[in-house]
Structure 1
Amino acid sequence: MTKLKATFRKTIGMGTLTVMFVVLLAGCSGSNNNADTSNGAQASASPAATESTSTAEPSAGGTFTYGRPASVTSFDLHNQITSNNAFAIDKVFESLVAFDSKGEIKDFLAQSHTISEDGLTYTFVLRDGLKFSNGTPVTAEDAVFSLNRHLTVEGPLAISATVESFKAQDDKTLVIKLKEPYTPFISELSNFSNGIIPNNFGGVSEEEFFKKPVGTGPFVVETWDPAGDVTFTKNTNYWQEGKPYIDKLVYKLIEDDSQAINQLKAGEVDAVEALSLQNAGEIKDGTDTTVVTNGSWVTEQLFFNTLDEHFSDVHVRRALALALDRDGLTKALTFGYAQTANSLLPTTIPYNANDTLKSLNFDAAAAKEELAKSAFPNGFSTKLLIASGNSTRAQEAQIIQAAGQAIGIKIEIESVELATFRERFFAYDFAAMLNSGQADSPEANSILAFQTDPEGFSKSYWTHYTNDNVTKLLYEGQKTPDGDARAAIYTELLQTLADEVPYIPLYYPDILIGARSSVEGLVVLPNGSIRLEDVRVSK
């Protein structure tokens, strides 16, 4: 049986909306302070991805300061998943392949790759002249060591394919052999967790290495406070000649959304992560500020604990889905920076079935009829858990509360501090909660594995939803080549989720980054991270 990958990301204050977002990675996008997850597929961003532009003449050099809602606590790429760490790790370490702003997989440290017809052999040829930031050459043996370490450590973004071997054919050629086909493999290799590190940690201890990491990325860690800021310097050995253009990158910890906005407007930071939906208009219309956006791999959701006495009843879950006006909620809360969800998978991910899925749309009469079929026809009282500090989530909760009240379900909103929120849902100490799911790579399996496997890392995103046919379809989708057959598998799987609603997809938020108008070349990725190799700041 194929080992499933699990991903979870958060963005405090979010944005990786995600509670990625630090709620969790996996994740990230238009709202704030949340916990999210991940998993994705080739995407075409929704709206078209934008880059920051400036009318003044940009120049190389200088410092780019980025306001972020959570500090970087670790650079161990194999043991991390939350966005606060992931989006720093990906500035230091790079993978053989990577996804661009449209979610398309491109060769990166590899100049080329081939996949055998049987899907079992992957061959990568490294670029000429690759060096680590300390000037030592990058070889295929480094890639073997990196991937073997990931396979051994496993971690939250474990290598899910059943690997037979990683082998350096020569200094530049890496050959990976699988025991059985695993279609998402090439996409998952683009995860930050599959970055290349020096063989044997470059001769230092593991602990010492991750305190002062050496990678191939555009930046090198200069100073780092796990409870505060990180300062990066330019990697002078970077393989993209002449890049990055900036000399320094500062990740500045700003935990309060309003403070982040004020510092952006005052020019104290050049950009802020996880711009909340409600603040987007103010920043977009600002004299010296702008919004850089992209479609995302995020789905905002209402999650049910299927171990709870009430939400173990499928008729209760269906009743609440029918009672909720998702279109109205989306229009009221997202200011045009999101679209109503019809499927668990965002429209930026292949096989999302958004156009064909029959979901439980708003119908108050049908909602009451559905509740009458349940074990609680006269209604009941329950609680909805949310992380505090996120105004969008608070408003979502109020709308859901009103929808429940309309059919006899009394919902108490329980708002707790983010760390407590995470502890609670990890322990299944909730009846229902608001959170986000997000892909870490452009592959449908990314979200589906995280949210439908009751035995996986996240236990179906801590809902413990279990459906044997869904699990069977999940594994079939992993082994089936891309094409109509795989599409049919995911359509059936997604329809089952729409019918049984272990979670209600609410909307797909765009990723929003607030930036100074003087910033040029900022690229937003659909997982909520940003590329900074081309960033320049006008003087």
Structure 2
Amino acid sequence: MNRTSKKTFGFLLTTLLAIAVIISGCSSNNDKGASLPPASSGSPSASASPSASNAADGEETVDVLRYPLTLTFASLDPHLVPTGGVANIDRHIYEQLVAFNTKYEPKPVLATEIQVSEDGKTYTFPLRKGVKFHNGKELKAEDVVASLNRWKEKTARVQTSFGDSLFEEVDEYTVAITLAQPSNDVPLQLASYLQFSAITTKEAIESAGPDGLTEIIGTGPYKYVEYKQDQYVHLTRFDDYVSPEGPQDGVIGKKEALVKDVYFDLIPDGSTAFNAFLAGDYDFASVTVDNLPQVQSLSDVTLNKVFAGELNIVFNKKAPFPSNVKFREAIAAALDAEQVLAGYTSDPELYRLNSSLVTPDNAEWHSEAGAEKYNQKNPELAKQLLQESGYNGEELVFLTTRDSAGAFYNATVLVVDQLQKIGIKAKIDTYDFTTMIARRGDPAAWDIYVGSFSNQASPSQVLFLGKSYGWPEDEQLQQLIRNTTEALTPEAKKQASDALHAYHWNYLGAVKIGDTGTYYANRNNVVGYQFFEGPILWNTKVLKK
């Protein structure tokens, strides 16, 4: 079986990778928005000048904030890159019609409200007036329609949910979509963090090439300045930004660019970023269990824990052996989920067993249907199923990356170790993150992918259930997903979710390993910073040390 390089999926990274780092530093040159190279570990912080918005408080704050991400990518196009990692940057440039608050409830951002017809088929979104794009153009319905129809075209899971329906212009400041069937799913898909529904200008959509948007124009509190390949992305304050009203809650509510310039430094190696944090260059860091004692000894640091991800084994259903359900059943039978999770996190506080497609606290959609096939720890049954599948020691390609602080690679190694014990012959193909994503889209390039995924608000948003993610081209599965989106009462949602979960554990397009958490730390001179599905740098200021 000939295979070539590999690249991994983006969203997985989102949860563990977004926990990068902030560096505060500024000089008189930087105040003019000049391009800066990535900060080097151990370099002294430059002098800071008082921010105009804080001068009255007598606070001396920095005008330049640097935030390293353990990330590489090929494009900032939010409609093309299925990863929360890139959304960490894009969410500061672009906005959505609706977005999630911290309870994962979709609320208006560029829209003023969400109107739903009595039959549950038509969603109407009046737009806020006076909102400006970064090029000075006022946001109109034509821009929203062009953006969202392109987003739908590029997003397989949205196509499954919305069918052939398109967004349409009702009037200059109103947009609507009418579906063939009732749906609860439209606001959830629009608010998603992954491959998110960013709004740009109609002209930017029309000029987009095969490699993505050629203009990076949003309505967010920061506008794009420069992307230095594999080094940094530079954003600067958008002085004409028009903020939504209300208190900040997740991605909704008031947004204010308190820091003039933001640099997202791209540092794929997590240890490099952490060492720079210890050296005092960064104000925020992802913290491994091994690094916990070092952080706990710092008096000026606050330690936090986020439970926002999960591990899954995804099968390429177009590959010879993973396309065989007996083979997939063998992997599910062999898996000792707790052993993998314990090795992955090295901390019982950072994992939990969970067979469901959503978290246990998501009462609306959580289901234990099919859970008897989760965490079986039955190698003898696995060997029998392998034999029935026709597998006879052929080499299988596991796709992964060492980027994102090793999150994907470490999980892959732990899974491979278990599968080798039942007779699986494995080849681990390791690439940089961008290449892995590209390889993941090639059905001839891999057999199995072990990924870190962010939690989703509903089953319809789960990436590997979509037709293009591992190619689960099973019509019954797709119909069951549609059933979850068409359920309008709590009872109907429960029934639809149970049916989908039961079928998912029979079909086994992916095998759930479990939920994961991570520690992160921020220095106490960071004020107003929030982390929700990634960093939120608006409403954030960094006091001069």
Any residues of structure 2 matched to 1:277-292 within 5 Å, and which? 279=291, 282-283=294-295, 286-292=298-304
CA distance in 2, matches of 1:264, 1:309: 46
Q: Aligned pair 1:372/2:384, yes or no?
A: yes
Task: Give the 3 Å change call, closer, same or farther, for CA 146–26 of structure 1 in structure 2.
Answer: farther
Aligned position for 1:301: 312
CA distance in 1, matches of 2:446, 2:155: 25
Following superposition, the deviation at residue 253 of structure 1 comes to 1.7
Match of 1:317 among 324, 328, 346: 328
Structure 2 counterpart of 1:24, one-letter code: G
Any residues of structure 2 matched to 1:155-304 within 5 Å, and which? 160-162=161-163, 166-191=167-192, 193-201=196-204, 206=208, 210=213, 213-240=216-243, 243-272=256-285, 279=291, 282-283=294-295, 286-296=298-308, 298-304=309-315
Following superposition, the deviation at residue 505 of structure 1 comes to 0.9
Following superposition, the deviation at residue 60 of structure 1 comes to 5.7
Task: Give the 3 Å change call, closer, same or farther, for CA 484–367 of structure 1 in structure 2.
Answer: farther
Structure 1 counterpart of 2:443, one-letter code: A
Aligned position for 1:443: 458
Q: Is the 8 A contact 2:396 2:427 kept in 1?
A: yes
Structure 2 counterpart of 1:368, one-letter code: E
What is the root-mean-square deviation in Å for CA atoms of aligned residues?
A: 3.8
Following superposition, the deviation at residue 111 of structure 1 comes to 2.2
Match of 1:497 among 498, 501, 504: 504
Q: Aligned pair 1:452/2:465, yes or no?
A: yes
CA distance in 1, matches of 2:430, 2:283: 31
Give a deviation string over 1:490-514, Cα, whole Å, max 9, x none.
2122123224434221122236544
Following superposition, the deviation at residue 219 of structure 1 comes to 0.3
Match of 1:403 among 398, 418, 427: 418
Give a deviation string over 1:113-137, Cα, whole Å, max 9, x none.
2111112222223335423334443
Number of matched residues?
481
Aligned position for 1:8: none
Following superposition, the deviation at residue 392 of structure 1 comes to 5.1
Any residues of structure 2 matched to 1:132-171 within 5 Å, and which? 132-151=133-152, 154=154, 160-162=161-163, 166-171=167-172
Following superposition, the deviation at residue 258 of structure 1 comes to 1.4
Task: Give the 3 Å change call, closer, same or farther, for CA 285–322 of structure 1 in structure 2.
Answer: farther
Q: Which moved more, 1:215-224 or 1:389-398?
A: 389-398
Q: Aligned pair 1:332/2:343, yes or no?
A: yes
Structure 1 counterpart of 2:131, one-letter code: L
TM score, norm. by length of structure 1 = 0.76
Structure 2 counterpart of 1:433, one-letter code: Y
Structure 2 counterpart of 1:510, one-letter code: G
Q: Is the 8 A contact 2:407 2:452 kept in 1?
A: no
Following superposition, the deviation at residue 537 of structure 1 comes to 1.0
3-state SS of paired residue (1:220): strand
CA distance in 1, matches of 2:408, 2:165: 45
Following superposition, the deviation at residue 98 of structure 1 comes to 0.6
Q: Is the 8 A contact 1:24 1:81 kept in 2?
A: yes
Structure 1 counterpart of 2:278, one-letter code: K
Where do 5+ consecutive residues of structure 1 fail to align?
1-11, 13-18, 34-55
Aligned position for 1:30: 16
CA distance in 2, matches of 1:489, 1:100: 25
Aligned position for 2:38: none
Task: Give the 3 Å change call, closer, same or farther, for CA 59–262 of structure 1 in structure 2.
Answer: same
Following superposition, the deviation at residue 144 of structure 1 comes to 3.0
Q: Is the 8 A contact 2:365 2:459 kept in 1?
A: yes
CA distance in 2, matches of 1:74, 1:378: 41
Give a deviation string over 1:461-508, Cα, whole Å, max 9, x none.
32x445443233123223332522232122122123224434221122
Give a deviation string over 1:444-473, Cα, whole Å, max 9, x none.
2011xx4235xx2x2xx32x4454432331
Q: Is the 8 A contact 2:98 2:110 kept in 1?
A: yes
Q: Aligned pair 1:523/2:522, yes or no?
A: no
CA distance in 1, matches of 2:187, 2:260: 33
Task: Give the 3 Å change call, closer, same or farther, for CA 157–200 of structure 1 in structure 2.
Answer: farther
Following superposition, the deviation at residue 531 of structure 1 comes to 1.8
Following superposition, the deviation at residue 92 of structure 1 comes to 1.0
Task: Give the 3 Å change call, closer, same or farther, for CA 109–276 of structure 1 in structure 2.
Answer: farther
Q: Is the 8 A contact 1:299 1:345 kept in 2?
A: no
Q: Is the 8 A contact 1:134 1:237 kept in 2?
A: no
Structure 1 counterpart of 2:446, one-letter code: F
CA distance in 1, matches of 2:168, 2:414: 55
CA distance in 1, matches of 2:135, 2:501: 47
Structure 2 counterpart of 1:435, one-letter code: G
Following superposition, the deviation at residue 278 of structure 1 comes to 5.3
TM score, norm. by length of structure 2 = 0.76
Aligned position for 1:412: 426
